[in-house]
Structure 1
Amino acid sequence: MAKWLVSLDTDKIKQYIYSCDHLKEIRGASGLLDHLNRETTPKLIEHHHGSLIFVGGGSAMATFSAKDDAQKFADAVQKTYLEETGTATISSAIVEYQPDDSPSVTKKVQPTAFNLALREASVRLQQAKNSGRGHQVITSAPIFARCQRCGQFPIEKVIRIGNQDFKVCRVCFTKQTIPSSLYPGDRLKTSVFARQTLQDAGFPDLIEDLGDQSQPKNFVALVNADGNNIGKIIENYIHQEADLIALSSILTETIEYALIEAIKASMGTSASKIPIIPILIGGDDVMFLTPGHLGIPIAVALCQNFKHKFNQLVQEKTKDNPSLFQSNPPEAVMSAGVVIAKTSHPLFALDELSEELLKSAKQHSKELSSFGIISTIDFRVITTPTANPLKKVRQTEFRIAEDRFATSRPYAIDTLNDLARPSWEDVYQAILRLKKENFANNKIHSLQNILRNRSLLQAELDLMNFIAHITEKQHEIMKEINSSMHLNQCNLLFLTNPLNPAQLISPLPDLEEIYEFITEVHHDPD
């Protein structure tokens, strides 16, 4: 008997969340979308006689025994999203398929009818999203006064924020009045992994609260993390509905565990506030604000925990049910982009920067595929009110000459023994060693100035002069650190990029850029 697979995905989530650059509206928007995704969508599936397979991260999948029910469900979800949010839309794809008999472990039937339906749904869903069929909102007209919060939509309401009345649009009013219990991250406190540490603490209300905790003060980090190639896992490892249901459960539990354990590792035992403000938590996506000095440590722990927990849960589920994934269990890792900036920096700009860094980190993970499935990270510190796009910075400000770059970013998070290139762990340990020895930051800055000389010969002469003016102990420390970061194979400033032997790269500018934001906070997964 035929079935109909319905695949859903929320359109332009970030555009809806950041359409108003105020934290309360951002958290309200994210909380509302999460509520519609996790609570409302399953109820609509049940109401239209469907079976839920997957929900999370703004996406959902369900199967129906009747085409009419599938179409009515898709229409109902689209209508509900628009009514509840005012502007957010969701795209859908419906694919008919004939279910196979469950393939045995030995037959290895691939691809199955369900797998083919998943692939077809993915193509159709992307076509629907690219078509721009979503609801178009008139954002301005001569006779309308614009919202005093987002500046986009016509005024419809008046709301009091603090001691001031604001004339706002319906969209911002909805975001402002969402109960805090629906904010992203609230369910973390009720997770089985939270235990007493998180259950008794609260989330900060203001970005300034995070800035006050930061070392140095008034800096905040936006962490943007995402599982690598989850779409490919669905395409290559999901053969039956049970596989996707299992994967959905694994991802949900993995994200909760990974983030909670990373947070707990950064908190003091008497902390009354959880040191993050969650922006987005769903599927395999995580985005949050945290004090500047905690951005990279929490991101690193999150990625390490994700890999550890995902693979552990896959092994447990396949042991209990050997037919899952046709006895070919998937592996997954996470990558992260971290941008550190002043608390006054616009949030939408931080989001764009973090997205660029995340894409860079994920691309590096692909470049390292011959070494296994590798977690990666990229980061950037912004101290100015505006910032150039990442690609422009790396190709101009960090390019010393045609073949020399004043950076080694992005980084593999953990050391790869077969790769003569520094990992983030190598850079982190180097910073801790320098701080332990009270190595002056201005000396690291001097090294960066030396390596930025366009003449490599002049840079080497300046380096000799630099070494002549530091103590013997400082020189020994530098040699040890340079060796751990593979700088000794070329000279004390650069190393040959093993992924592109025509290039010389250096981790020293990266070390200096992040130096003051690194403390002893560090975590290894259980």
Structure 2
Amino acid sequence: MEKYLVSLDTNKVKNYVFATNKLKEIVGASSLLAELNEEITIKCAKKHEGKCIFAGGGSALFVFYKKNKAHDFVAEIERTYIEKTKKATIASAIVEIPQSQEENNFIKALNQAEKCLKRKKANNNPSTNLVYLEPYFEPCHHCGNYPIIKHIELNDNDLLLCEVCFTKRSYALKVENENLRPRKYFIDYFSKLNQGLKFPNTLEELGEMDRSNGYIAYIYADGNAFGNFIQKHLDSEEKLTAFSEILKSAINTTIAKSIEPFIQNNKFPFIPVLIGGDDLILITPGSRALSIANNFLIQFQQFLQNGLRDKNLDIDATQLSMSMGVTISHSKYPLLSFHDMSKSLLQNAKSLYQDIYIKSGKQISTVDFKVISSSTSKSLDQIIDGEYKLSKDHWATCRPYPCFEVEGFSRPTFTNLLNVAATLSSKHFPKNKLMRWKDIVYTKESINALELISFGASLKMEEKILMETSTKSLGLATYKNLFFQENFLTTDYFTPLIDLVEIFNFV
């Protein structure tokens, strides 16, 4: 019997979702793509006698037993994407699965489909913007790419939108009113515990839930080398189908458990922007973000392992990890700037993951973060060079952080850092003394010792004891030792003190 693998991948997902700086349009775009990917595509495949292996994160994989059915399915779903989104497109590959007795026929077909998709996506050109062809059209006031076709009156403001932005905004309102995906999972999960829980719908609402004067956080996470893991361990349709269901459940459950301690006044402490495949983007109150991020990264492997065990898959969840970037700033900080900074932080965290994996062979989740207190146009690299690079081999930071201890690795874990900050805060350690301690890091080495003696003399006995305990938890011998030398990945010198002060108001 002939058998065909159909692989789908949405083109330029992030470009479509983040085409504007407006939360409603971003949420609407993400949720609309999720419905297309995880509901409409599956129904369409069934209509054409296809079987779903997985669907999520903008990608999908199906098996068909008739070539014409596979082609009919692809043609219909390509039309559907354009009809529903007015812009987003999807790339497809149809590959015959060999029916020989050789092993790994499924993996061979999967690899072939992946190569075909990469070629198609590389050649995918964005559609021409009518605005540039017809100068007498007024461009959309949000994306600036397409002609205005909708005039909406909202709170004395006129919204003049193109069809693409209007479609996204309309779907966002539907998500809010009907609690569609990705919200639906969390409404259902907590329904037995708390009826009537609601999501905040604006960044201002989230900011009002914060203890730190209207700050919010943008959390961007991604799985580490999940593709390589699939190649090594999931060599059949059945295994890949089971794993995709387990992964989806593990990520959603871990998010739910991570945010549960912070539910107050019948409101969820986050807005889910994107949850699909091994990607997630959440927006949370600033003072909750670091704890939510740490909770997620610490608990993810356990919930994944529980799912693997329940499905009788003999796979060790410690072979999978996540990396994360967290940006904290005021709710009025531009949303696209949040996204770009968190994306850069995520890449930094992934670099640390890669270095640790190469050196130790261990899958360790990692995180990088940045608190932005004023508007800036600087890139993360520029910020690092300007704020944290003291000299060729001295750094006023330990970022990014591992979430678990690594043998021979001197840096503290993210949990260590959060615990020390929480302890100092709960003990009401004077902020001015913490700031003075931080400032000594930036003084010339020749006067460091004198400054530390003066600083020590200003501490009360209980403060001195607290400082000694804290510094040991952070990998420093005493509070008089500002730096430690890293001998695992480099021989440079690092200090966690700047990081500690930066997050002090957000734990």
Shared fold per TM-score greater than 0.5: yes
Residue 164 of structure 2 corresponds to 171
Q: In the alignment, which of 145, 150, 158 is matched to residue 157 of structure 1?
A: 150
CA distance in 2, matches of 1:441, 1:100: 70
Q: Which moved more, 1:246-255 or 1:357-366?
A: 357-366
SS in 2 for 1:444: helix
Listed as ranges, the matches of 1:432-443 within 5 Å are 432-443=422-433
Listed as ranges, the matches of 1:204-283 within 5 Å are 204-268=200-264, 271-283=265-277
- 1:252 maps to amino acid: K
Residue 347 of structure 1 corresponds to 335
Q: Does the CA contact (< 8 Å) of 2:129 and 2:145 recur in 1?
A: no
SS in 2 for 1:88: coil
Q: Compared with structure 1, are the counterparts of its residues 358 and 5 closer, same or farther at alpha carbon in structure 2 (3 Å cutoff)?
A: same
Shift of 1:336: 1.6
Shift of 1:433: 2.1
Q: Which moved more, 1:475-484 or 1:329-338?
A: 329-338
Residue 521 of structure 1 corresponds to none
CA distance in 2, matches of 1:92, 1:134: 16
Residue 375 of structure 1 corresponds to 365
Shift of 1:47: 2.2
- 1:483 maps to amino acid: K
Q: Does the CA contact (< 8 Å) of 2:179 and 2:187 recur in 1?
A: no
CA distance in 2, matches of 1:36, 1:250: 21
- Structure 1 residue runs of 4 or more that deviate by more than 4 Å after TM superposition: 327-330
CA distance in 1, matches of 2:445, 2:505: 28
Q: CA offsets per residue over residues 458-496 of structure 1, 9 Å max, x none?
A: 323322332233223322222221111111189610111
Q: In the alignment, which of 472, 477, 493 is matched to residue 488 of structure 1?
A: 477
Q: In the alignment, which of 472, 486, 492 is matched to residue 497 of structure 1?
A: 486
Q: Does the CA contact (< 8 Å) of 1:184 and 1:280 recur in 2?
A: no
CA distance in 2, matches of 1:91, 1:194: 36
- 1:145 maps to amino acid: E
Q: Does the CA contact (< 8 Å) of 2:410 and 2:488 recur in 1?
A: no
Shift of 1:290: 1.0
Shift of 1:43: 1.6
**Unpaired runs of at least 5, structure 2:** none
Q: Does the CA contact (< 8 Å) of 1:156 and 1:168 recur in 2?
A: yes
Q: Compared with structure 1, are the counterparts of its residues 114 and 371 closer, same or farther at alpha carbon in structure 2 (3 Å cutoff)?
A: closer
Residue 471 of structure 1 corresponds to 460
SS in 2 for 1:435: helix
Residue 93 of structure 1 corresponds to 93
Listed as ranges, the matches of 1:358-397 within 5 Å are 358-369=346-357, 370=360, 372-397=362-387
Q: Indicate whether 1:445 and 2:435 are aligned.
A: yes
SS in 1 for 2:200: coil
CA distance in 2, matches of 1:441, 1:342: 21
Listed as ranges, the matches of 1:511-526 within 5 Å are 511-518=500-507
Listed as ranges, the matches of 1:177-196 within 5 Å are 177-178=170-171, 179-180=174-175, 181=178, 183-191=180-188, 193-196=189-192
- 2:280 maps to amino acid: V
Q: Does the CA contact (< 8 Å) of 1:44 and 1:73 recur in 2?
A: yes
Q: Which moved more, 1:126-135 or 1:216-225?
A: 126-135
CA distance in 2, matches of 1:99, 1:394: 54
* TM-score with structure 2 setting the length: 0.93
Q: CA offsets per residue over residues 324-364 of structure 1, 9 Å max, x none?
A: 5xx55553222221100111111111011111111211222
Q: Does the CA contact (< 8 Å) of 2:131 and 2:137 recur in 1?
A: no
SS in 2 for 1:166: strand
CA distance in 2, matches of 1:139, 1:442: 55
CA distance in 1, matches of 2:498, 2:479: 17
Q: Does the CA contact (< 8 Å) of 1:230 and 1:332 recur in 2?
A: yes
CA distance in 1, matches of 2:9, 2:63: 15
Q: Does the CA contact (< 8 Å) of 2:254 and 2:303 recur in 1?
A: yes
Residue 313 of structure 1 corresponds to 307
CA distance in 1, matches of 2:129, 2:436: 54
How large is the RMSD of aligned CA atoms in angstroms? Answer: 2.1
Q: Does the CA contact (< 8 Å) of 1:228 and 1:362 recur in 2?
A: yes
Listed as ranges, the matches of 1:45-64 within 5 Å are 45-64=45-64
CA distance in 2, matches of 1:198, 1:89: 39
Q: Compared with structure 1, are the counterparts of its residues 139 and 510 closer, same or farther at alpha carbon in structure 2 (3 Å cutoff)?
A: farther
CA distance in 1, matches of 2:86, 2:398: 44
Equivalenced residue count is: 499
* TM-score with structure 1 setting the length: 0.90
Shift of 1:169: 0.7
Q: Compared with structure 1, are the counterparts of its residues 283 and 423 closer, same or farther at alpha carbon in structure 2 (3 Å cutoff)?
A: same
Q: Compared with structure 1, are the counterparts of its residues 428 and 9 closer, same or farther at alpha carbon in structure 2 (3 Å cutoff)?
A: same
CA distance in 2, matches of 1:137, 1:143: 13
